[in-house]
Amino acid sequence: MPGPLSHIRVLDLSRVLAGPWAGQNLADMGAEVIKVERPGKGDDSRAFGPPWLKDPQGKPTSEAAYFLAANRGKKSITANLSSPQAQAMLRELAKTCDVVIENYKFGDLARYGLGYEDIKAVKPDIVYCSVTGFGQTGPWRERPGYDFMAQGMSGLMSVTGEPDGTPGAGPMRVGIPIIDILTGMYASIAICAALAHRAQTGVGQHLDLALLDTSMAFLSIQGMTYLTTGEAPGRIGNTHPSIVPYQVFPTRDGSVILACGNDNLFAKFCAAAGCGHLVTDERFARNAGRVQNRAILVPLLNEVFAQKTTKEWVALLEEAGVPNGPINSIAEAFEEEQVKARGVRFDLPHTKGGTVPMISSPMKFSATPLKQDTPPPTLGQHTEAVLSGILGLDAAGIARLRESGAI
């Protein structure tokens, strides 16, 4: 069956991660995504290595893992945006598209005749998605923005890491560029919503996504804690601000995560762990009491967990129906039985690497399964096919564009 967006064509003018992540989501859902890259260099993330994809002989190729992570399913064409011929070519391509994604600084593409108003003039119902650091409005709209900056400026790093006074204390960024990825996810949702609106009304629109906006929204519970109390929450490491016990505990040979999200689960845990007396203690019988008396309860639980290995605790708590889990390395995570059963890792053929390993989208559709059968493209791999197949250019016309430096 075709994917749910198999009727959609996307012109992807974005690079690095936030915009490309949105484009990859749309490609996974069946959209035809045409990625526009700089001649000779391509997307900046093509140079973000090592690590590089290895060829069948184990030698590094020029394909960066960073680029491979966010560009599955796309067609790559090259275009020099400073060339009037390339600008005209891209406007012609936009006429055939439903969506444009771009993540240039505010106003940059308008200088090339490729801004929202320019594309709207040739394709009135276009869904045009702009992804920037700070958005299309406000005093910072012309500033460049990056994931790390957004994590710091939004306060996210102020609630991530070990608390003051403990070893390793200090603000910490999340271990992946999560704001880039989340902005790409919000962009995907916004694009799909705008397409649904267009299907009903025939009207396109300009979507304005910003990294800082995403990071502020991502504060969620912590942000609401501040807004409702007037007090900014701090770092609490691997504990939970309002649920106890919901944290990491050291075991005899490692550590384990215990997640008692309600009083019933805490009672189940205590019964399984042989510390049923804690349930009858008024200080710990209800979650509010456990939160208030965290400093008393946690040392008691540390003594309990020190009696068994991580493997023993996982088995015991699993049998008791208490949510728990080990802290895996990424290598260990890919070896988990459930991860394998869900097909999280799969391989696609690649012109340079023989095959390229991929991480599957978590979206599962019963009637319109995802289309994840096309590897990330090499630079300009589809230029001729797109220009001839969509714009109807012949070999001579494509050659002239190349000679002019447009592609």
* Contact in structure between 107 and 115 (CB atoms under 8 Å): yes
User: Roughly what angle, to the nearest 10 degrees, separates helices 395-404 and 84-95?
Assistant: 140
Residue 230: C-alpha distances to residues 158, 222, 226 (Å): 16, 11, 5
Average of per-residue pLDDT values in the chain: 96
Residue 289, H or E segment: helix 287-292
Question: pLDDT, tens digit, for every residue of 33-47?
Answer: 999 999 999 999 999
- Supply the pLDDT for residue 37: 98
pTM strictly above 0.75: yes
Q: Which of 28, 43, 180, 208 is catalytic?
A: 180
- Supply the pLDDT for residue 151: 98
Whether 14 shows a pLDDT value over 90: the answer reads yes
Question: pLDDT, tens digit, for every residue of 325-373?
Answer: 999 999 999 999 999 999 999 999 999 879 999 999 999 999 999 999 9
Residue 78, H or E segment: strand 74-78
Whether 146 shows a pLDDT value over 90: the answer reads yes
User: Can 118 be counted among the known catalytic residues?
Assistant: no
- Supply the pLDDT for residue 183: 98
**Count of positions (residues) in the chain:** 407
Whether 241 shows a pLDDT value over 90: the answer reads no
CA distance 313 to 302: 13
**Side-chain half-sphere CA neighbours of 115 within 13 A:** 11
* Contact in structure between 293 and 229 (CB atoms under 8 Å): no
- Supply the pLDDT for residue 353: 79
Is residue 284 classed as helix, strand or coil in its secondary structure?
coil
- Supply the pLDDT for residue 67: 98
**How do strand 99-102 and strand 127-132 relate by DSSP bridges?**
parallel
| Portion of the chain with pLDDT greater than 70, in percent | 100
- Supply the pLDDT for residue 2: 86
Strands, sheet with 255-259, edge to edge from the N-terminal-most edge strand: 246-250, 255-259, 324-325
Going by pLDDT thresholds of 50, 70 and 90, the confidence category of residue 227 is: very high
Is residue 228 classed as helix, strand or coil in its secondary structure?
helix
Whether 210 shows a pLDDT value over 90: the answer reads yes
Dihedral sign computed on CA atoms, order 314, 318, 321, 326: positive
Going by pLDDT thresholds of 50, 70 and 90, the confidence category of residue 121 is: very high
Whether 385 shows a pLDDT value over 90: the answer reads yes
Whether 222 shows a pLDDT value over 90: the answer reads yes
Question: pLDDT, tens digit, for every residue of 248-306?
Answer: 999 999 999 999 999 999 999 999 999 999 999 999 999 999 999 999 999 999 999 99
Residue 180: C-alpha distances to residues 96, 177, 250 (Å): 28, 6, 33
- Supply the pLDDT for residue 1: 78
Question: pLDDT, tens digit, for every residue of 39-93?
Answer: 999 999 999 999 999 999 999 999 999 999 999 999 999 999 999 999 999 999 9
Going by pLDDT thresholds of 50, 70 and 90, the confidence category of residue 402 is: very high
For residue 286, the 8-state DSSP code is: S
Supply 63's token pair: 């394909």
- Supply the pLDDT for residue 341: 98
Per residue, what are the HEC states of 328-393? CCHHHHHCCHHHHHCCCEEEEEECCCEEEEEECCCCCCCCCCCCCCCCCCCCCCCHHHHHHHCCCC
- Supply the pLDDT for residue 182: 98
Residue 10, H or E segment: strand 9-12
Mean pLDDT of 118-140: 98
- In order of their start, the domains of the chain are 9-218+358-404 (3.40.50.10540), 246-328 (3.30.1540.10)
